[in-house]
Structure 1
Amino acid sequence: MSRVDASVFRVRLFSSRGYLRQKCNYCGSYFWSIIERDDCGDVPCTDYTFLNISSKKRLSYKEVRNLFLEFFKKRGHEVVEPKPVVARWREDLYLTIASIVVFQPHVTSGLVPPPANPLVIAQPCIRLEDIDSVGYTFGRHLTNFIMGGHHAFNYKDKFVYWTDETVEYAYEFFVEELGIPEDEVTFKESWWEGGGNAGPCFEVSVGGLELATLVFMMYKTTGDSYEELPLKIVDTGYGIERIAWFLQKTPTAFHAVYGELLTEFHKALSLSEPKRDILIATLLNLSKIKSGSRDTLYMLVSQRLGLPVRDVEEQLSKVFDLYAILDHTKTIALMLSDGIVPSNSGEGYLARLVIRRTLRRLNRLNKEIKLAELIARQLSYWSDMYPNMARVRDRVLEMVELEEERYRGVLSKVSAIASKFSSRVPSIDELVEIYDSHGIPPEILAEEIEKKYGKEIEVPENFYSVVASRHSRPKVLKEVEEVKLPKDVVEWASRYPSTESLFHIDQYIRRFKARVLGVYEKYVVLDRTAFYPEGGGQLGDRGYLYIDGKVLKVLDTKKVENVVVHVVDSTEGLNEGVEIEGEIDWVARYRRMRHHTATHILLGALRRVLGDHIWQAGAEKTELKARLDVTHYKMLTDEEITKIEELANNIIDNAMDVKIQFLPKNDAEKLYGFTLYQGGVPMTSTIRVVEIPGWDAQACFGTHVKNTSEVGAIKIVNVEKIADGIIRFEYTVATVVPLYAHDLENKLQNIAKALNVSSAEVDKRIPSFV
């Protein structure tokens, strides 16, 4: 907060309405209110009093969402469709944790214009950092929520609106539209950071419940440093769930958000709902204690109602679990229907964490109900708001059933793992490592160790929150592939202007003339080149440079940002400014082009046969073979592999033109969606789209054939599971297919000779040796 100029908080509304800037007696924060008060209006500085605060509207959860969008639409904001909960457009973040994430980093950096300005969005978000508090705090913490965001992007030459208008919109929405008494609303001065950006903000609270955050984004964050953004961004987050909770005056947010589904879950889990007076007493006391102090909460509620502590604990502990299960099952439905495949890494790890925590909660309640049955109820209940849930319902339920089966396998390992701690207590780091490596919940391991060896282990209340935070983003960002060069070479190459990419102008060019810009050790930079630099899984070109009768071999080609670096066997005669002629190894290049186009064809076939959860996890295209790693939750059948190969070869037989065009990022996403980014997310304002019309479209830097018929044929030579949730396909194309066939024939003949039979009789003879 020390870096904030306090004037940013002195807005027009406060002056015209006579608001007072005051300091909270409890947290020390400054806030604004139209009346004098000693607290900032948010817990724990005040109690939950919102149940007693009037409003002129009582709206359902879905009605609040629609009202929010309509309110800002009437005020000149264009409604933007929400994005998936898995942030496919980000390589530094797995999940969509806020509405602004949709526009980071391309729009917020000024690289790409926003899809509308100003705009409003109701964005489904998933945030797992508070997962251990979900249920226990009655809905103040959730793993999934809709963030209502109205955003304005202010450029130096185009001002939209800033602090004055943003606060006035909040006043109009909460006071005039919803009818909340003005003297109950507070605006607390604060600071916000997230997703690589930061800025001062107001937290808008009513009766202990924070209903919105109004962020004035000014900075890009890198570690502990702050760099001013080229534009100023209004980034607001209205809590749709909390607003519905406030308006409906229900004991918990779960009643307001889930309605009849909450009742269904009570019945499905054979749990009766605690009486309203217990729920209200719990809510009123939640503001008085810190998260994790459950014993204190039980005592306070029992004292307030005159009930035995044990009775209170029995009722509340079960309902806490039920609320968490209700929340988590919706989160699972959102994650899996948006294409996440549970696994041991990436976003799949986070999905599995939520699934297994939910299963643990069900086990704690001693309920035999299948998790898939509860997920099915969520899919049905929310399908009107999220139509994709109905379309992928069967696949989601199959994944959940497989995960439940795998979880049972994990539990069978508990005893063996516990035996390693017969003489000592595992550390917290060891519990995390065991959870990461084996998937064993720490509380189950602790129970086993205590039962067998009498050692009591205290598992931190925030264990899963800590684990989720550690895995919320890639530990190492996907490195730009061209930086497979020594550091000094990267620094040297970065000094030069962008290389003209002749391989994009004409992918079939073989010879070209160019001028040498620089030479360093065995590396050469030219002003233009037909040599393709390694990237997108496609290996760099080899070939030759001709100068003054000398022939120099190009051993490899790399890229540093937009500068192409040629790795040569000799730099004799290569001086700055001289003219050279280059020639690529066309046979090798053409084979790679065929394999690259085949990869796009195959990916389209995989998504049609297996589902649109298929996402590229890795690829390589060489002269003789290519591989494609994709996310999938089980091994394929022979029938599926045959169908995939058949569909892929149909595209080749149909002789479809491969269309390549450069499009503005927003236009490309509107046309093709986020499947564009199967091979990575380019940090550019325009995207080179490689499209096989009606079949596949991807943002791709690589070289391709002009027509699918040039691929010749695709033969899948191997399919294997290389990691949990990752399937690898190896395949070959065109003239390489006969080479593969000849190799198989030779192997078959060798087996036949060893068995002393003909090749045609091998399959009949083999069973006798098994």
Structure 2
Amino acid sequence: MKSQDIRNTFLNFFEEKKHSIVPSAPMVLKDDPTLMFVNSGMAPFKEFFLGNAQPKNNRLTDTQKCLRVSGKHNDLEEVGYDTYHHTLFEMLGNWSFGDYFKKEAIAWAWELLTEKFGIDKDLLYVTVFEGSDDADKLPMDQEAYDFWKGHISEDRILMGNKNDNFWEMGDQGPCGPCSEIHVDIRSAEEKAKVDGKTLINRDHPQVVEIWNLVFMQYNRKANKSLENLPDKHIDTGMGFERLCMVMQGVQSNYDTDVFTPIIREIETITDKEYGKNEKVDVAIRVISDHVRAVSFSIADGQLPSNTGAGYVIRRILRRAVRYGFTFLDKKEPFIYRLVEVLVTQMGQTFPELKVQRQLVENVIKEEEASFLRTLDQGLILLDRIIENSQTKEISGTKVFELKDTYGFPEDLTDLILRENGYTYNHGDFDKKLKEQQGRGKEASQLKSDDWTVLIEDEEQEFIGYDTLEAQVKIAKYRKVTSKKDGELYQLVFNMTPFYAEGGGQVGDKGYLENAQGDVVYIVDTKKENNIAVHFAKSLPKNVNETQKASVDVKQRYRTECNHTATHLLHQALRDILGIHVEQKGSAVHSKYLRFDFSHFSKLTVDELRDVEDFVNRRIYGKLPLQEKRNIPMQQAIDDGAMALFGEKYGDTVRAVRFGQSIELCGGTHVKNTGDIWHFKIVSEGAVASGIRRIEAITSDAVKEFYFENNRSYFEMRDLLNNAKEPVKALQSLQDENLTLKKQIDGLLKEKAKAVKGDLKNEITEVNGINFLAKKLDLDASGIKDVCFELGSQFDNLFLLFGAENDGKAILSCYISKELVASKGLNAGTIVRELGKHIQGGGGGQPFFATAGGKKPEGIEEALRFAQNYIK
């Protein structure tokens, strides 16, 4: 059975059981602070499990794209070395929200596997939670055990501990026991030697878990205690790739048709054969896995970057590049060429891959080329470290600097060192790495108390489209503490006029005021699992009383101007540049807006002017806001609204229209485009290959922009003696300055020549080295010229010159190349040490290096130190 048929069989089976098939959510999470990526099938449904929203149908089924490369669930380093771990994988799932429970979940799982898929019952084992003797004192899941007895012999029902058979969403939240279904696909000979039940959960490549049935019946509180959930839920997840391995009768996920087309293409491109060499095989598995993870992430809107989720994606791609570089001898970009195969294979199920194909290829190709340049640079630096090392063990700190500063991976450093008979101090490296990781964790670590619930089962209503003030009640609150922000309180209201950060728009600020006039400031509003959470510096007095909630009017107005301007900007770009332009991200603040979009080249001055004019004409046209709330998604699309890839939309949506601009949007907007006053682009540039970014301002920020420019203009005119044509006057000054600079440069060169003639006679021989250390009255360029001219006339030359320019100290060290080779001297190392005397630092090449510092009086001390060093 082909993979596409396996996927359809699963979904159709549960559709027959009255489940609604829902599409996969984007992998990048935007309103869940506990997760960076969707790492399990249940993640997109957390709001339903938490009771923050109600699904259209209490029974759902889907195949969900998942990524496990960070946090608790991190499979990255296993990928490629075994046959069943992946970064990106599909999780087939069926869900019940307060509907059916253990009996049906177990019966249907067994029916699907043994009857629909026809898997031999003798290949299967199941596990049941055995209970725990810890603080939870949980009983064995006898109920699940009894249901399983009706389907499988008791000798194949195994007890599982809390680590394997009790599933938790996180430190807090819904949780419960689970039953895993394992399959043993070993040969008959192997089964005769070792009983399959002894290999369950032992990381055996042919005895693997394929399905986990989670029975959510408890809620974990902040104090670690458990309480029963009012409604019980079913959350199942089956590894699609592992199921394909079983159904297609192969011994590895990589031997299924999920991966074989990609592997064949890698073989063609690299001229390497899979299955002949273990190191080559690992590299091919790594690349075939990683290209999927990176491609889906980019298609879902997450570009590689240096921070957050973008850094994770960049790290995955770079891991693939370095395996190709090291083991497949690929020194030029090639991974981007695999995207075509992936689109052919999976584009039907995941149409975002088809639509975003060109962007995905462009971004991957550019990232590959960039990292290959980094590898080349790293190899040069590593060669230099090896060349200058006095021992066969390289400093772990240097290896860490290669990784941290230059992005050169430590495993590649280790490989190259071992090939050259060297090693490095792993202890020092690990210490530096832990220090870096510890700083990040301390800053981001968040501790939270349990929610104190004041109002039960009341669904929060957002009223901020229509009013910025309201009488609200606090439904629940809790204290949270982080090293970054200190102590804050999170408040949830029964209804709120505060907009929670989302869709690129910043969260509202404002305040709460009670009847006695006590005020508590709201410093931010964020969305967490479909609920607006308000962050306050303190807890309001009399939390049970009604509070007046007021949004900061000025910030909201400025933010609305910028948000509406992004819609008009999007329309302008598509009209002027072409319909290939698509929004790839935005940030809407009160002070400015940022808009990322797909486009292949830098915008010309004329294009930027046309875009500004397009937007401003619609501002001056005073277009009214037309919105439709809570309409079916398809109706909005039929009306002409654009849905953005990477966004998660509900069954009903809000469509926002200004003239011909129609977009699906939950953000806040001005009532009329005339309120924006004016739109001004302040910058345009590249973010990644095929992605451009425009930053712009509106309203009060534009007024301030023009005010500052006007003030600068009159200040410039004053400096130019009120010249009637200040541009011409400034150009004349520049021309005059250039002429004078050339004259000065000529004079300095003549001065350097004169100095060089005097210095020749001052060079003395010390221990077979021609040596001179002296303070000069020259600039850095002049000193460098003197060094190299003297170097061309003297062998075995060591020069150290100091100078003072503009109150700062300069040291320049020149060492003849023959001295570098014969004596092991290194100018870069020497000036770094001498730089301490001038309270500075520096570096450079072994034969020439410079240092700068803020203590000119230390120059003489540095010169004396150099003399003693040579002696």
Q: What TM-score do the two structures reach when normalised by structure 2?
A: 0.58
Cα 1:727–1:262 change in 2 (3 A) is closer
Q: CA deviation at 1:318?
A: 1.0
Does the 8 Å CA contact 2:683/2:694 hold for their aligned counterparts? Answer: yes
Q: CA deviation at 1:446?
A: 2.5
Q: Which moved more, 1:603-612 or 1:188-197?
A: 603-612
| Residue from 352, 360, 366 that aligns with 1:388 | 352
Report the Cα distance in structure 1 between the residues aligned to 2:103 and 2:593, rounded to whole angstroms: 55
| Residue from 670, 677, 683 that aligns with 1:712 | 677
Does the 8 Å CA contact 1:350/1:471 hold for their aligned counterparts? Answer: no
Report the Cα distance in structure 2 between the residues aligned to 1:76 and 1:546, rounded to whole angstroms: 51
Which residue does the alignment assign to 1:614? 584
| Residue from 72, 77, 92 that aligns with 1:132 | 77
Report the Cα distance in structure 2 between the residues aligned to 1:752 and 1:95, rounded to whole angstroms: 55
Does the 8 Å CA contact 1:198/1:217 hold for their aligned counterparts? Answer: yes
Matched letter for residue 132 of structure 1? E
SS at match of 1:615: strand
SS at match of 1:205: strand
Q: Counterparts of 1:194-343 in structure 2 under 5 Å?
A: 194=169, 197-207=174-184, 208-221=207-220, 224-256=224-256, 257-274=258-275, 315-343=277-305
Cα 1:344–1:433 change in 2 (3 A) is farther
Report the Cα distance in structure 2 between the residues aligned to 1:562 and 1:603, rounded to whole angstroms: 30
Fraction of identical pairs, as percent:
22
Q: CA deviation at 1:103?
A: 0.3
Matched letter for residue 68 of structure 1? F
Cα 1:357–1:559 change in 2 (3 A) is closer
Q: Deviations over 1:199-222 (max 9, x none)?
A: 211111221232211111223446
Which residue does the alignment assign to 1:9? none
Task: Indicate yes or no: 2:362 matched with 1:398.
Answer: yes
Q: CA deviation at 1:240?
A: 1.8
Task: Indicate yes or no: 2:186 matched with 1:186.
Answer: no
Which residue does the alignment assign to 2:319? 357
SS at match of 1:99: coil
Matched letter for residue 370 of structure 2? R
Q: Deviations over 1:583-605 (max 9, x none)?
A: 99988875565345435655776
Cα 1:546–1:647 change in 2 (3 A) is farther
Which residue does the alignment assign to 1:83? 25
Q: Which moved more, 1:710-719 or 1:748-757?
A: 748-757
Cα 1:214–1:600 change in 2 (3 A) is same
Q: CA deviation at 1:354?
A: 0.8
Q: Which moved more, 1:414-423 or 1:398-407?
A: 414-423
Matched letter for residue 198 of structure 1? C
Matched letter for residue 76 of structure 2? I
Report the Cα distance in structure 1 between the residues aligned to 2:248 and 2:221, rounded to whole angstroms: 42
Q: CA deviation at 1:168?
A: 0.7
Does the 8 Å CA contact 1:499/1:564 hold for their aligned counterparts? Answer: no
| Residue from 374, 377, 380 that aligns with 2:338 | 374
Which residue does the alignment assign to 1:304? none
Does the 8 Å CA contact 1:149/1:235 hold for their aligned counterparts? Answer: yes
Report which of the two structures shows the higher radius of gyration computed on alpha carbons.
Answer: 2
Report the Cα distance in structure 2 between the residues aligned to 1:415 and 1:580, rounded to whole angstroms: 65
Which residue does the alignment assign to 2:843? none
Matched letter for residue 366 of structure 1? D
Which residue does the alignment assign to 1:144? 88
Report the Cα distance in structure 1 between the residues aligned to 2:48 and 2:400, rounded to whole angstroms: 37
Cα 1:752–1:203 change in 2 (3 A) is same
SS at match of 2:670: coil
Which residue does the alignment assign to 1:657? 624
Q: CA deviation at 1:719?
A: 5.2
Q: CA deviation at 1:264?
A: 2.3
Report the Cα distance in structure 1 between the residues aligned to 2:80 and 2:231, rounded to whole angstroms: 39
Report the Cα distance in structure 2 between the residues aligned to 1:699 and 1:373, rounded to whole angstroms: 37
Report the Cα distance in structure 2 between the residues aligned to 1:500 and 1:191, rounded to whole angstroms: 35
Report the Cα distance in structure 1 between the residues aligned to 2:536 and 2:425, rounded to whole angstroms: 57
Q: Which moved more, 1:688-697 or 1:379-388?
A: 688-697
Report the Cα distance in structure 2 between the residues aligned to 1:263 and 1:153, rounded to whole angstroms: 43
Report the Cα distance in structure 2 between the residues aligned to 1:587 and 1:501, rounded to whole angstroms: 20
Q: Deviations over 1:655-709 (max 9, x none)?
A: 433356765999999998996999xx99x99999876584444334x6x421122
Report the Cα distance in structure 1 between the residues aligned to 2:7 and 2:93, rounded to whole angstroms: 11
Q: CA deviation at 1:252?
A: 2.4
Q: CA deviation at 1:167?
A: 0.9
| Residue from 59, 62, 71 that aligns with 1:118 | 59
Which residue does the alignment assign to 2:840? none
RMSD, aligned α-carbons: 5.7
Matched letter for residue 108 of structure 1? F
Report the Cα distance in structure 2 between the residues aligned to 1:759 and 1:545, rounded to whole angstroms: 58
Q: Counterparts of 1:406-421 in structure 2 under 5 Å?
A: 406-411=370-375, 412-413=377-378, 416=381, 419=385
Report the Cα distance in structure 2 between the residues aligned to 1:217 and 1:227, rounded to whole angstroms: 11
Q: Deviations over 1:165-219 (max 9, x none)?
A: 1111111111111222223221112222345543211111221232211111223
Does the 8 Å CA contact 2:559/2:589 hold for their aligned counterparts? Answer: no
Matched letter for residue 285 of structure 2? Y
Q: Deviations over 1:238-287 (max 9, x none)?
A: 2221121112112422221234333222222212233xxxxxxxxxxxxx
Report the Cα distance in structure 2 between the residues aligned to 1:580 and 1:238, rounded to whole angstroms: 47
- Report the number of matched residues: 618
Q: CA deviation at 1:444?
A: 2.2
| Residue from 567, 574, 592 that aligns with 1:626 | 592
SS at match of 2:277: helix
Report the Cα distance in structure 2 between the residues aligned to 1:727 and 1:583, rounded to whole angstroms: 37
Cα 1:112–1:433 change in 2 (3 A) is farther
Report the Cα distance in structure 2 between the residues aligned to 1:252 and 1:734, rounded to whole angstroms: 60
| Residue from 90, 104, 110 that aligns with 1:171 | 110
Cα 1:343–1:426 change in 2 (3 A) is farther
Report the Cα distance in structure 2 between the residues aligned to 1:180 and 1:531, rounded to whole angstroms: 55
Cα 1:453–1:344 change in 2 (3 A) is farther
